[in-house]
A and B are shown apart, each in its own frame.
Chain A
Amino acid sequence: MTENTLGTPDTWLDEHGAALYKYALVHTRDPHRAEEVVQETLLAALQAQDRYTGGASVRTWLIGILKHKIIDLFRRDAREVPLDDPEVPEGATEEEHFDATGHWCNAPSDWGNPEEMLERGQFMAILQRCLEVLPPRLARLFMLREVMEEDTDNICQEMAITPTNLWTMLYRARIGLRQCLDRNWAV
């Protein structure tokens, strides 16, 4: 017997619709996109209901699906912005950034006062586009951590990886994203 019962899709909408919508609105900043992503979440939940184990509450389960749908939405948007130099090598391993003695091949330069740039729309577009050029699994994991601010324990559990694996993957994502921003945006 499970601790939580799943109920029917109609009850998901009645009981959790507002919570899902609020969560989606905070992250998408657009009522239409928020509605759209709530619908996608509930449809995905309908298809995945056999996999619900009753361990987490229905709301937690639905929010978990919603997070992935929001990330999909971010990534879809990102494809619309062109990049000058979209070359981020697959995997973006340390070997490409450091020489044999562990020194930077190209030492990071000063970005000046990047916080000021946050105010301008273009930066956020390039940021999203640069996320898009990371390998898909890496991008998803990185966005769960940094954009959705998911707990590292939860990510390890969900992706079935160890904390050490996670740190390594986050490192790769950061170093790849940094390189992409450096080439496409930094002055």
Chain B
Amino acid sequence: MKMLTCKDASHLISERQERPLGVRERWALRLHLWLCDGCRHFERQLAFMRQALRQLGRAAEADGADLAPEARERIRKALAERGRHEH
């Protein structure tokens, strides 16, 4: 089996978040990570970044939430206003 470079390994670490790796890719990556501190750090950092980005996107629960009546009215007016300009 050909040894991965750090560049190859970094691509596989990123792609693993998008698709399942093949058996060969998995083994080659595992071997590389075993030997390489830099890529191990990179792997951990990417996993952490994904976690943080998801947290950025979903923190609150919004069960049962709805637009306030005033907001609804404001939006309705804005739509009507814009609608008039369109036609």
Residues on A lying within 8 angstroms of B by beta carbon are 9-10, 13, 17-18, 21-23, 25-27, 29, 31, 35, 38-39, 42-43, 46-47, 74, 94, 97-98, 101-104, 107-111, 114-115, 118, 123-124, 127-128, 143, 146-149, 152, 163, 166-167, 170-171, 174-175, 177-178, 181-182
Contact = CB atoms under 8 A, between A and B. Distances in A.
Interface residues of B, number: 50
Given A98-B5, A103-B6, A149-B54, A35 B71 contact: yes
B24 interface: no
Contacts of A29: 59-60
A22 B75 contact: no
A128 B38 CA distance: 25
A25 B37 contact: no
Contacts, number: 155
Given A22-B62, A38-B71, A46-B82, 6 more contacts: A17-B66, A26-B60, A35-B68, A111-B45, A147-B53, A174-B14
B18 to A, nearest CB: 6
19 contacts: A25-B65, A26-B59, A29-B60, A39-B71, A39-B75, A43-B79, A94-B10, A98-B7, A104-B38, A107-B6, A108-B45, A111-B44, A118-B52, A127-B56, A146-B49, A148-B57, A175-B14, A178-B45, A182-B45
Report the 10 A-B pairs with minimum CB-CB distance, sorted nearest first: A102-B5, A107-B38, A146-B53, A147-B57, A108-B41, A102-B7, A25-B62, A171-B14, A35-B71, A98-B7
Interface string B53-84: 11111111111011110011011101110110
B46 interface: yes
Contacts of A170: 14, 17-18
Interface string B1-39: 000011110110011011100000000000000000111
Contacts of B79: 9-10, 13, 42-43, 46
B48 A111 contact: yes
A174 B18 CA distance: 13
B75 to A, nearest CB: 5
A115 B72 CA distance: 39
